[in-house]
Chain A
Amino acid sequence: MSSPNSGNVGIVIVSHSSKIAEGAADMVRQMVGHAVPLAWTGGDVDGGLGTNVAGILEAIETAWSPAGVAILVDLGGAETNSEMAVEMLPEDRRARVVVCNAPVVEGAVIAATEASGGSSLAAVKRSAEEFYA
């Protein structure tokens, strides 16, 4: 789930389904490698489909990097809960976490690819969002 620390932007995957989140993380690890901090979270607190703010906060903590963290989400609640989690972060970290407007699986792979080259948080977000451009 996590990775050794590095100066690269971290990636967090948030899906309503823990299987999707875990599977997307598997794809990132296999395709991009271990050069980026990576964490995933999925499901509500009872283990059903959904997302929960505590799980997202924990994932941000796991994937934390001084360069920031890019979050990839699937539908509605994943996005609003991720935004809520970002608001709950300490102020000095809040500005270094972004939710990307990108498809969760493709966006995660692309964001991680960009991050693995040492790109900035803004560049990582921009690259992931090229999917909708």
Chain B
Amino acid sequence: MHDANASRATETMAPLTASAILVNEVGLHARPSVKLTQSAKRFAAAIELALAPDGPWTDAKSPVKVMRVKAPKGATLHFRVTGADGEAALAAMLALVNDGFGEA
């Protein structure tokens, strides 16, 4: 899709990181995972998430991998974003989590 551009950006830019606490009841289960991956796919930036600040990192654009994280309510979700539109991507991820994926 946009892999060539994304990887070029990866080489030249330092990753942006931020974290947010999962506030919705079910945590990062099926429906929130779908919303998160759908949102992540709108950006060219590489977007990864983890339960700890040092990883292990999971591709936020993969619905299966995001669901496998099984992050519960109250968990801190760390994001690591690299790419030209990384700032907007990070803001979108944090907004989704802080908003409880619209279902808190």
Q: List the B residue with the shortest CB-CB distance to A32.
A: B34
Q: Do B38 and A32 touch (CB < 8 A)?
A: yes
Please give the distance in Å from A113's CB to the nearest CB on chain B.
4
Q: Which residue of B lies closest to A30 (CB)?
A: B31
Q: Which residues of B contact A (CB under 8 A)?
A: 1, 30-31, 34, 37-38, 41-42, 61-65
A98 to chain B: which residues have CB within 8 Å?
Answer: none
**A60-B82 Cα distance, complex, nearest whole Å:** 38
Whether the pair B38, A113 counts as a contact (CB closer than 8 A) is yes
Q: In the docked arrangement, what's the CA distance between A31 and B41, Å?
A: 16
Chain B, residue nearest A114 (CB):
B63
Tell me, rounded to whole Å, the shortest Cβ–Cβ distance linking B97 to chain A: 18
Q: Mark A106-133, 1 if CB is under 8 A from B, else 0.
A: 0001100110111110000001001100
Q: For residue A32, which residues in chain B have a CB less than 8 angstroms away from its CB?
A: 34, 38
Q: Chain A at the B interface: mostly helix, strand, loop or mixed? A: helix
B65–A119 contact, CB under 8 A?
no
Chain B residue contacts of A127, Cβ below 8 A: 62-64
A32-B34, A109-B34 known; A130 vs B65 contact (CB < 8 Å)? yes
Report the nearest A residue to B32, measured CB to CB: A31
B34 in contact with A113 (CB, 8 Å): yes
Residue of A nearest to B40 (CB): A117
Residues of A4-61 contacting chain B, CB below 8 A: 31-33
Residue of A nearest to B68 (CB): A130
Q: Is the CB of A31 within 8 A of B65?
A: no
Contact, CB under 8 Å: B1 / A119 = yes
The contact sample of 28 A-B pairs, CB cut-off 8 A, is A31-B30, A31-B31, A31-B34, A32-B34, A32-B38, A33-B38, A109-B30, A109-B63, A110-B63, A110-B64, A113-B34, A113-B37, A114-B63, A116-B41, A117-B37, A117-B41, A117-B42, A117-B61, A118-B1, A118-B41, A119-B1, A119-B41, A120-B1, A127-B62, A127-B64, A130-B62, A130-B64, A131-B64
How many angstroms between the C-alpha atoms of A127 and B42 in the bound complex?
17
Distance A51 CA – B103 CA, assembled complex (angstroms): 37
Q: Which chain B residues lie closer than 8 Å to A131 at the CB level?
A: 64
Q: B61 — which chain A residues lie within 8 A by C-beta? A: 117
